[in-house]
Chain A
């Protein structure tokens, strides 16, 4: 009897390679889960994510909330007795979820795309524009307007972007870093 099928095994191997982490060493001590700041907001604890990957549960783990709620605080990795950096595994899972087009309606993914678009355009993030685009595209227009206005009044939201001169190099880097 096989515990996991070929597709699951391939998925496990791919994530192990992408993340560079010794996923096979996890013996579920839950030290990561004990320190995870996102626990009450997530659907799987960090150790459960690792177990799901170990068992090749591709669909379950690529569609979960946890991988997008992870704030990359690095607490799990810093505490793991086996040197497994769960943040790196979660990053690999996010990248895989994007590749499998499982990010429709995902606000966190939308934020990241607006952030990187701003970098691609200007070489740096123009925070006011980036936030405005994110709010428009996520149809969340009204929240934080008071903060935004306050910051603008204080001169913390420059109208014009600060642009890098060598934007051609940025475009090159983006293009050649695509998978």
Chain B
């Protein structure tokens, strides 16, 4: 099974372990990822916050590239996914914007490519049952709160994936790995996102309430599917929060599949997950 792959800017730098684990895990699960050649930045929050036209035309370039390759497009970063999916939705439904975009970018929109978050791709193309069968090392003892963040399931008419208030797709994956996905009420509460650099104090309060809730729920780990969420969860905790490690969901799948390179991913975390994994005899 083949999918086009849009890593996005963060996966080349601050979220390198997400890229490494995503590629490794997809390969192990039989999903071939073909990186879009010469992909461009999706524009993220900065484009849609300052220039509506640019927020459509810039990501449209990537949709054009995906059209050329012909396969559905898997996007690991939630923000990139949301931007690309919104762009696709706009090009599909707004004739005026489609015409303007086609004129600026020079491609003809076909609407044939589906844009999927990597989480959605793993859930719908591989499936939880298949993942469960591939587990070699059940992640027993890992009590995980699943932090979906804002952009995987909202706006609901655009993403059309999972439940907007209480999504369960990631919880199902985590449970299939032998870990325990703990119910909690903060699955889709914003971490503060790109305010991290400009308004660190605000993000610290937002992350603080998430970490407090995770602790109250009895979690020893938090799992996410977004580079910005993961880095906020690691960097913007309250001072002195010895806290729980923040994983990318692909890292936990890789751990359960007993892939050889998991150690390299965990070394890149700012909050070391090895003490926890060692205590549960889960590290290699």
Would you call B135 an interface residue if the criterion is a C-beta within 8 Å of the partner chain's C-beta atoms? no
Q: Across the interface, which residues of B come within 8 angstroms of A73, CB to CB? A: 150-151, 154, 190, 193
Q: Which of A147-177 contact B (CB under 8 A)?
A: 147, 150-151, 154-158, 162, 164-166, 169-170, 172-174, 176-177
Contact, CB under 8 Å: A179 / B194: no
Please report the number of residue pairs spanning A and B whose Cβ atoms sit closer than 8 angstroms: 164
Would you call B14 an interface residue if the criterion is a C-beta within 8 Å of the partner chain's C-beta atoms? yes
Least CB distance from A63 to B in Å reads 16
| Among listed A4-12, A48-56, A111-119, interface-contacting one | A111-119
Contact, CB under 8 Å: A174 / B190: no
Interface of A is mostly: helix
Q: Across the interface, which residues of B come within 8 angstroms of A176, CB to CB? A: 57, 104
Would you call A18 an interface residue if the criterion is a C-beta within 8 Å of the partner chain's C-beta atoms? yes
Query: 1/0 contact trace for B185-213 toward A, CB 8 Å?
Result: 00011101111011110100110000000
> Residue among A85, A91, A107, A158 with the most chain B CB within 10 A?
A91
Would you call B38 an interface residue if the criterion is a C-beta within 8 Å of the partner chain's C-beta atoms? yes
Contact, CB under 8 Å: B10 / A173: no
Contact, CB under 8 Å: B16 / A155: yes
Interface residues of A (CB under 8 A from B): 18, 37-38, 40-41, 69, 71-75, 77-78, 85, 91-92, 94-95, 98, 107-113, 115-116, 118-119, 123-128, 131, 134, 138, 143-144, 147, 150-151, 154-158, 162, 164-166, 169-170, 172-174, 176-179
Interface residues of B (CB under 8 A from A): 9-10, 12-16, 38-41, 43-54, 57-58, 61, 104-105, 150-151, 154-156, 164, 188-190, 192-195, 197-200, 202, 205-206, 235, 267-268, 270
